[in-house]
Structure 1
Amino acid sequence: MRARLLIAAALVAALPLSFSGPAQAHQSDKPRIIVSQDGEVDDMDSFIRFLYYANEFDIEGIVYSSSRYHWAGDGATVAPYRWTGTAWVNEYIDLYAKLYPNLRRHASGYPTPAKLRSLYKIGNVSNVSEMSQVTEGSRLIEQRILADEPGPLYIQSWGGLNTTARALKSIQEKYQGSSRWPALQRKISEKVVIYNILNQDATLDDYIKPNWPDLKIVDNQSQFWSFAYLWTRQVPASLQYALKAPYMEENFLTGHGKLLERYRTYRDGKPTPGDDENNRWRPDQNLTYAVHDFISEGDSPSFLYLLDFNGLRSSEDPTYGGWGGRFAPNASGWIDTSDINPATEAADRTYPQTRWVADLQNDFAARADWGVSARYRDANHNPRASVREGVDLRVSPGRKVTLHGRGSDPDGDRLSYRWWQYTDADSYAGALDLDISNRSNISFTVPADAVHGDTIHLIFEVTDGGTPALKRYQRVILTVR
């Protein structure tokens, strides 16, 4: 079952199963999300990026969990391990508060710092996989799961899933055995989508999958590495410039405010208190990375996946692919899959993520400028893209098709256009002969061997002439009838 069907099921489900009080009107069509993180260096960097994109989401919780890499200890029998404390989240929100007035001048919808602070809760942090305690974080997740609001609830696992598991277990303990339990469990399984980064504790396999077998998991087990510590081994050489020190210094680290001053990079001389085993910050380390090279945002794909403002429509169906990777169906939902890397002409498990790295870095660089630009005209803003014929089209084999793309730019920048076929996302096994020459329109003939139900994904790409150069896309899906 595809994610679009999940969304539709959640929207039309009429059974009143809220146990958290009267349903409140849901005022936003933004993705409803809960961030669950464990305080690693890359979580910190992902959280900084997340704050610059906070206007794109209906944020319902920011929850601190443990993982196999970080836990707080219990003050008695369990000692802390690489524990970075819980204060840094509010410190980052305080620094976001300094940027907030400027960010609002460039885009609407940014949450107030007070709102973000109210959403921050400490979950199950005393040990790896600990889910016996009911915590403030688990109660928040439980309440948001049970809230009678439309649309999916995306729970992002940047660390372990133990606090989410505790929330689900609390629901199970309260309602299993009642007459309403089967319908409640079914509705929750339709509503909740977990985006899992690696398996950072045992609770997914030991509790969630056995007890909630129909809960959908978008499982990123390998693609995230291309945006994490080992990126030099994964990102094509032609794209690595967007992660190297000169780009990082110019676009993020210098002159972009106090929040980005906290952004960690390789060998930057900025230790992470408590995480003494992570020595990548030490300038004297004999590492292949230069000072201020990108270090890691391995958790960012979980929210990049939901940024449908870019026109890639990735959240409609994980098989489509986008800034948060591309996935193939499996027994639990979806697992990350491969795209063909044009540099090697071979299937590459990380290329569904790395193909976008320059675009998403430029997009973040523009938002970094927003935070320090009090005037709209002093920063770049994304162009717009649309296709006259629509984005979901039915076509017949042998038929000639012409598509008319359109672009506009709020800053008046000159625009360039590109059409391309995302063959890895297609179910049709072949390439179109596209008539393109840097124009906004394309023509092609639907292949004669295309059969009923085949899909072909075309991406219309608009790039502005601003600094940094920004893109918007429009994905058009052709379905053969």
Structure 2
Amino acid sequence: MQTRYAVFLFTIVTSIGIAEAGKPNPNGNKPRIITTTDLGADPDDEQSMVRLLVCANEFDIEGLIVSTGCWKKNQSDTEMLDTLVNAYGQCVDNLKVHADGFPSAQYLKSISVMGQLAYGMSDVGDGKDSPGSELIIASVDTDDPRPVWVGGWGGTNNVAQAIWKVRATRSNEELSQFLSKLRVFDILGQDDAGAWIAKNFPEVLYIRATSVYGWAPSDEYLKEHIQSHGPLGAVYPDRKWATEGDTPAFMHVYPNGLNDPEKIDQGSWGGRFDLAKKAGIRSMKPVTNEGEFDPYLMFGNSAEGMNAIKRWSIAYDNDFAARMDWSITDTYSDANHHPIAVVNGDISRRVLEVTAAPGSTVVLSAAGSSDPDEDALFYAWSFYQEPSSYTGAVKIEDTFAAVAKVNIPSNAGGKNLHMILELHDDGNPNLYAYRRVIINVK
């Protein structure tokens, strides 16, 4: 076992430096992500992995780790993950025709590793390092200021083991530096490691998302737009229970202009989360011992629950369908591509902030927005009330024009207003881009 792990660890250390992925991005647009998945427990992990792979150009994917969880307490190999990556390998040349930044299948194979072989905190401790836990350490240690978002599609004991080793082998200052770059997006809680992390290392930004069902597309949509589309469609299984329960873990950091993932209350394709930590967000029913770690505090879903995801359903459904189209055509003109949203001359995807006085008017302009296919563009400006500190009504003039005027309420002093530009084209399917402008009223 130790010899096999040593080979994996050499691969991890060398692969993280590969130029095509994991490198610092000067624009700061690409999130760094690691996915841990309990493949084999529920077909939804395979479903979510297909969506992640056709979106792979939007992220710096630094690890794909096979993990355990309360529904699959032991793992032995990466066979299921290899099948999915091999299907991606059959499509990646087509995908590269339509967008830059897709990693090679060879690279993804180099970061496809085994994590902890057994369940929860029973497999965390001295001498229990795994290729997965070592990969997490190597990724966080990389000389890159961007945080590393670990998506826990199963249990999170790979993260726990990484923290355990760093605590045991480094100074308190070095441990603090390590933890400051670590983010965990835990789907439902599927072992006791999450409670252990939250209890003992409260400085880690730890989200436990429990409203992850009810937002996904219908079986009919999946048959027509996903499963019928080439090698990746062929490995997208029918649901057994719910569809794609793990997808919000990477949709939260999807860089589409809608949100800053560090500001978890803003709302995104992955949901919206309260800024106040909550006590006792329990894992799924088979995890029965989290009370041992009470009190532990985590960030949890806001009151909107899954509706914070579903409000964007047309956009993320069409995004997936278009990307599956990309996977089966090697001709750029045979598929649709995303428009580019510009606000007040800013061409990035970052969230903008402006200041205004009560009773004033703020002009927001999407002039300069464009579409690579030269499709017609449609504009919609809206006030996103839920993350805003101002809770009254806001009047927007020319809501569906490129240039809109926001009338700042006279009683909005000291509050902020979150304004969203939702831009889409008239291609097939319609594709969307966003920009968020936060108006701080002084």
TM-score, normalised with respect to structure 1: 0.77
SS in structure 1 at match of 2:396: coil
Q: Is contact 1:38–1:64 with CA below 8 Å preserved after alignment?
A: yes
1:186 is matched with which residue?
A: 176
Q: Does 1:173 align with 2:168?
A: yes
Q: Does 1:126 align with 2:100?
A: no
**Which of 141, 149, 153 pairs up with 1:146?**
141
Q: Does 1:334 align with 2:299?
A: yes
Q: Does 1:383 align with 2:339?
A: yes
Q: Does 1:100 align with 2:92?
A: yes
Per-residue deviation, 1:73: 6.7
Q: Does 1:394 align with 2:389?
A: no
Q: For structure 1, which segment, 313-322 or 244-253, has the greater mean C-alpha deviation from structure 2 after superposition? A: 244-253
Per-residue deviation, 1:125: 2.6
1:319 is matched with which residue?
A: 265
**Which of 310, 320, 333 pairs up with 1:354?**
310
Indicate how the Cα distance of structure 1 residues 437 and 305 shifts in structure 2: closer, same or farther if over 3 A, else same: closer
Q: What CA deviation, in whole Å up to 9, does each residue of 1:327-351 have, x standing for no partner?
A: 1113346321023xxxxxxxxx221
Q: Does 1:244 align with 2:218?
A: yes
1:262 is matched with which residue?
A: 235
1:432 is matched with which residue?
A: 394
1:365 is matched with which residue?
A: 321
Q: What CA deviation, in whole Å up to 9, does each residue of 1:180-222 have, x standing for no partner?
A: x2211221222101111111001111x2123312111122122
Per-residue deviation, 1:437: 4.8
SS in structure 2 at match of 1:459: strand
Indicate how the Cα distance of structure 1 residues 409 and 147 shifts in structure 2: closer, same or farther if over 3 A, else same: closer
Per-residue deviation, 1:433: 1.2
Q: Does 1:69 align with 2:64?
A: no
Q: What CA deviation, in whole Å up to 9, does each residue of 1:420-446 have, x standing for no partner?
A: 110111011112111135212212321
Amino acid across the alignment from 2:223: E
Task: Measure, in 1, the Cα distance between the counterparts of 2:98 and 2:201.
Answer: 42
Task: Measure, in 1, the Cα distance between the counterparts of 2:119 and 2:179.
Answer: 27
SS in structure 2 at match of 1:479: strand
Same amino acid, percent of matched pairs: 32
Q: What CA deviation, in whole Å up to 9, does each residue of 1:266-285 have, x standing for no partner?
A: 4xxxxxxxxxxx6x6xxxxx
Q: Is contact 1:386–1:405 with CA below 8 Å preserved after alignment?
A: yes
- In structure 1, runs of 5+ residues without a counterpart are 1-19, 75-84, 176-180, 232-242, 267-277, 281-294, 340-348
**Which of 48, 51, 59 pairs up with 1:49?**
51
Q: For structure 1, which segment, 383-392 or 34-43, has the greater mean C-alpha deviation from structure 2 after superposition? A: 383-392
Q: Is contact 2:273–2:300 with CA below 8 Å preserved after alignment?
A: yes
Q: For structure 1, which segment, 97-106 or 143-152, has the greater mean C-alpha deviation from structure 2 after superposition? A: 143-152
SS in structure 1 at match of 2:61: strand
2:374 is matched with which residue?
A: 412
Amino acid across the alignment from 1:301: P
Query: What is the number of residues matched between the two proteins?
Result: 392
Q: Is contact 1:327–1:336 with CA below 8 Å preserved after alignment?
A: yes
Q: Is contact 2:380–2:422 with CA below 8 Å preserved after alignment?
A: yes
1:33 is matched with which residue?
A: 33
Q: Is contact 1:73–1:127 with CA below 8 Å preserved after alignment?
A: no
Q: Which runs of structure 2 are paired with 1:203-218 in the superposition (5 Å)?
A: 203-205=193-195, 207-218=196-207
Task: Measure, in 1, the Cα distance between the counterparts of 2:131 and 2:250.
Answer: 23
Amino acid across the alignment from 2:214: S
Q: What CA deviation, in whole Å up to 9, does each residue of 1:371-412 have, x standing for no partner?
A: 111110000001111112653110110112222223311111
Task: Measure, in 1, the Cα distance between the counterparts of 2:219 and 2:309.
Answer: 21
SS in structure 2 at match of 1:384: coil
Q: For structure 1, which segment, 99-108 or 65-74, has the greater mean C-alpha deviation from structure 2 after superposition? A: 65-74
**Which of 392, 410, 421 pairs up with 2:383?**
421
**Which of 184, 189, 213 pairs up with 1:199?**
189
Task: Measure, in 1, the Cα distance between the counterparts of 2:61 and 2:185.
Answer: 15
Indicate how the Cα distance of structure 1 residues 371 and 168 shifts in structure 2: closer, same or farther if over 3 A, else same: same
Amino acid across the alignment from 2:372: P
1:302 is matched with which residue?
A: 249
Task: Measure, in 2, the Cα distance between the counterparts of 1:253 and 1:168.
Answer: 39
Q: Is contact 1:394–1:478 with CA below 8 Å preserved after alignment?
A: yes
2:290 is matched with which residue?
A: none
SS in structure 2 at match of 1:156: strand
SS in structure 2 at match of 1:150: coil
Q: Is contact 2:67–2:154 with CA below 8 Å preserved after alignment?
A: yes
SS in structure 2 at match of 1:327: coil
Q: Is contact 2:198–2:206 with CA below 8 Å preserved after alignment?
A: no
Q: Is contact 1:338–1:351 with CA below 8 Å preserved after alignment?
A: no
- In structure 2, runs of 5+ residues without a counterpart are 1-12, 278-296, 347-351
Q: For structure 1, which segment, 428-437 or 465-474, has the greater mean C-alpha deviation from structure 2 after superposition? A: 428-437
Amino acid across the alignment from 1:159: G
Per-residue deviation, 1:248: 2.0
Task: Measure, in 2, the Cα distance between the counterparts of 1:147 and 1:472.
Answer: 31
TM-score, normalised with respect to structure 2: 0.84
Q: What CA deviation, in whole Å up to 9, does each residue of 1:200-254 have, x standing for no partner?
A: 001111x2123312111122122x1224xxx6xxxxxxxxxxx224322221122
Task: Measure, in 1, the Cα distance between the counterparts of 2:373 and 2:83.
Answer: 34
Task: Measure, in 1, the Cα distance between the counterparts of 2:144 and 2:220.
Answer: 45
Q: Is contact 2:114–2:131 with CA below 8 Å preserved after alignment?
A: yes
**Which of 212, 216, 219 pairs up with 2:208?**
219
1:114 is matched with which residue?
A: 106
Task: Measure, in 2, the Cα distance between the counterparts of 1:66 and 1:174.
Answer: 25
Task: Measure, in 2, the Cα distance between the counterparts of 1:442 and 1:45.
Answer: 39
Q: Is contact 2:423–2:434 with CA below 8 Å preserved after alignment?
A: yes
2:282 is matched with which residue?
A: none
Q: Is contact 1:226–1:353 with CA below 8 Å preserved after alignment?
A: no
SS in structure 1 at match of 2:213: helix
